[in-house]
Amino acid sequence: MAVMRKEVRQLRRDRLTFGMIVGIPLMQLLLFGYAINTDVRNLATAIADEANTHLSREFVAELNATQVTNIEYRVDTAAELERMMQSGKISIGVAIPHDFDRRVADSTRAAVHLLVDGSDPTIAGIAEKLRSMPIGFDTGAAARNPGLIEVRPYYNPERRTPMNIIPGLIGVILMMTMMMFTAVAIVRERERGNLELLINTPVTSAELMIGKVVPYIGIGLVQLALILVAGRLLFDVPVRGSIIDLYLAAGMFIAANLALGLFFSTVAKTQFQAMQMTFFLMLPSILLSGFVFPFDGMPVIAQVLGEALPTTHLIRLTRGIMLREATLGDMPGELIFLGAFAVAATTAAALRFSKRLD
Amino acid sequence: MKSDLAIRARGLSKHFGSLRAVDKLDLDVPKASIYGFLGPNGSGKSTTIRMLCGLLTPTEGRADVLGFAVPEHSKELKPRIGYMTQKFSLFGDMTVVENLEFIAEIYSFPAAHRAARVDELLENYDLTEQRKQFAGTMSGGQKQRLALACAVLHHPELLLLDEPTSAVDPQSRRDFWANLFRLAERGTTILVSTHYMDEAERCHRLAILDHGVKVADGAPNELQQSTGMHVVEVQADDPYHAQTALIQLPGVASVTQLGVRLRVLIPESVDDPVALVDQGLRKQKLPAKSRIVPASLEDVFVAVTMKPEQLAA
């Protein structure tokens, strides 16, 4: 297949693109793997202990032991806590009133005031957790509240963020690179004038499309291997399910994205336009796919939009296969969606692309 | 009769919105000849060529190319034509040999003869030394030779060349035309567009296009003999003022300055053009020598693209 061989040859010479094939996955993996960490620890905290009793000191020690807070300052009044929070020195302020011991025993009154920097949603979430922290301790008082529900996180007992991030990252990385490469594939030839020559040869539209897409499927699968190996070595993220299932799912996803990229390529007049179109789709794919925010927690409109994105479906598949040991048979709907999307996008691209200039 | 023609077009038109890029063009291109399209930029040369190879759909009219109606049968036509675009359109990041091999594969050139054909082309088009060079780094003349080599690789019956020499030096142009004559000699029909007069002169036949309309066609010498104009060459001491004086004379259609000489076009209806010019100049006290000369192709071009109101003056 001449077009394919030509494409591979050109790709090999294009150092920058070649670097991106390896660079983008690795960079994102490190970025997301290390920097994004939703288990919050060591929040800067100040304590205003107005009671300063045996019980209050024990409470502070207990708080410190959770490692969520890092007590950096001790001040005298609650008003000072507010000032420190405003200036951004602390994320959490703990005000212990002087009648702390009495309040602990009285279940109708709050024993401790927690000042939380609500401008950061993750920190606000943490405060909720701290609220249920048992206080009372050695007094054995009625205020003790062990919590009614015990949470046991399946599949990720240590609640490590990379376990969630990396299966999702597969979708995001493949989407970004695959769509970007093919989005510019045809436009580039149009801009360089190659297309006018190509469409004057007996080459058919289908040959041209397939020749352009197939090398990238290979690249996508290599990228997948790269992510899996790096995820394993650096972050200890396992593939619990079948690796073949994973590759099948990813292959279908790659095809869907390549086809979509190709469609963009037939619509766009310049490489710049094609790039903009991919960026236009990139943001929702990262935000609405369940990669960053839990899908079920999103507003209905966001869910509807998210449902239309291939990335959403792939992330469900990768999380299922890699972490829950699911098989493709457990989640046929997701795979069918990806397949249908690929077929629809290819058809659209082929219809848009004609071997004429007008 | 049809078999003698490589291209036959009747009433071929292409409109882009309200712009008539090509307007009711009739065209007869005999086989094994070099046919030229002469015209300024925007006269519809490229649009016509693109319609003829099926890249653009005509708004009106029809064209048969090598017996195939375009664009309906452009698929069958494609393997039989070679096309060279105005802009260099080969792959700059591949070597000369890789480009040729790619084209050979695209045209399904028999694999067994492929290497031999590529070597033959490298030899014929003087590219053997550049065989491993990236096409993007070559000079204008080398790129043009490569483009022609790629266009003729599959032995097309018809070559369509869209301003092939616009980016090369005079020596390369000479060599290029030598190649075209050799191809025509072997039976290839060549349609070439240009805005160079000297190139147009080399064509067996040519059509002059102006604003999408064919204003004249024929063999260059026929065209030169049938301009309908006298050409008076004036050698004046003060050519600039002589030109200003002459253009205001009734009966003078156009005056062009070429160095110290002026070429004056006067309709054939004027009986004694030399006398007209001499009298006009004497009145202004501008000494000059005038004589009748044969029309050049440039005179033809000026004459046929003239606006009707200029002609009336």
Confirm or reject contact between A141 and chain B (CB < 8 A).
no
Cα separation, A90 vs A44, in Å, equals: 5
pLDDT at B309: 54
Closest to B249 (Cα-Cα) out of B230, B235, B266, B224? B266
- Which residue in the set B56, B106, B150 is minimally distant from A202, CB to CB? B106
pLDDT tens-digit map of A329-347: 888 899 999 999 999 998 8
Confirm or reject contact between A10 and chain B (CB < 8 A).
yes
Q: Where are the beta strands (DSSP E) in chain A?
A: 43-49, 69-75, 92-96, 113-116
- For chain A, list residues with pLDDT below 70: 36-41, 120-154, 156-159, 355-358
Cβ-Cβ contacts under 8 Å, B108 against chain A = 202
pLDDT at B310: 56
What six digits make up the tokens of B298?
Answer: 């440039």
Distance from CA of A190 to the nearest CA of B (A): 9
pLDDT at A147: 43
What is the separation of C-alpha B25 from the centre of its chain, rounded to a whole number of angstroms? 16
Cβ-Cβ contacts under 8 Å, B71 against chain A = 356
pLDDT at A133: 63
pLDDT at A357: 67
- Which residue in the set A13, A197, A202 is minimally distant from B85, CB to CB? A197
Beta-carbon contacts of A144 under 8 Å, excluding residues fewer than 6 positions away, are A134, A135, A136
Domains, in order of start, for chain A = 2-36+160-352 (no CATH), 43-139 (3.40.1710.10)
Q: What is the DSSP string of A257-286?
A: HHHHHHHHHHH-SSHHHHHHHHHHHHHHHH
Instruction: Decide: pTM greater than 0.80.
Output: no
Q: What value of ipTM does the predicted structure carry?
A: 0.77
Element (H, E) at B13: strand B5-16
Domains, in order of start, for chain B = 2-223 (3.40.50.300), 227-312 (3.30.70.980)
Nearest CA in chain A to B85: A197
- For chain B, list residues with pLDDT below 50: 1-2, 313
B115-135 burial code (b ≥16 CB/10 A, e <16): eebbeebbeebebeebeeebb
pLDDT at A196: 86
Q: Which of residues 65-84 of B touch A (CB under 8 A)?
A: 71, 74-75, 78-79, 81, 83
Between A and B, how many CB-CB pairs are < 8 A?
Answer: 69
CB-CB under 8 Å, B87 with A200: no
